[in-house]
Amino acid sequence: MKKVTGLGGVFFKCSDPKAMNDWYARNLGIPVGPYGATFEWRDAANPGQTGSTAWATFPQDTAYFDPSSKPFMINYRVDDLTALVEELKKDQVAIVDEITSYEYGKFIHVLDPEGNIIELWEPAGENAEDATG
């Protein structure tokens, strides 16, 4: 089974998210909105298929990265989240929460051996199961 298919997003804590967003917009041209920035792209092997990578700042006191104490979180795109979670459980990977579903995909959070929080994301419509309901 193909596991990670790409980078879904990069998220990091900062003292002043608005000032940081303004700095990145002004100095690096990142088009930051209320939820960060989204970089859209096309799949090299299948140019008809589009995807996106998110970038966002969070306040220093966010609980979204818990239980990790690290100031960042990386989101990886995955092919079949449900099957991958079963494999991770067999390998005794620390699963932080349950799979949640939104109109834009399924998510779960796990920890690596050093306590870094990792967000796994199966974008909506990319798995045959999603396409059939």
> How confident is the model at residue 34, as a pLDDT?
86
pLDDT tens profile 51-106: 899 999 999 999 999 999 999 999 999 999 999 999 999 999 999 999 999 999 99
Average pLDDT value for the chain: 91
Amino acid type, 46: N
Q: Is 79 exposed, middle or buried (0-12, 13-18, 19+ CB in 10 A)?
A: middle
Beta bridge partners of 41: 51
Q: How many CB atoms lie within 10 A of CB 104?
A: 11
What's the CA gap between 64 and 62, in Å, rounded?
5
Q: SS3 of 55, please?
A: strand
Q: How many domains does the chain have?
A: 1
- Is 50 among the domain residues? no
Quote the tokens at residue 65. Answer: 């990265």
- Is 100 among the domain residues? yes
CATH number (domain holding residue 128): 3.10.180.10
**Domain limits at 88?**
4-14+59-132
- Is 42 among the domain residues? no
> How confident is the model at residue 128, as a pLDDT?
42
- pTM (2 decimals)? 0.86
Measured CA to CA in angstroms, residue 90 lies from 5, 41, 85 at distances of: 21, 34, 9
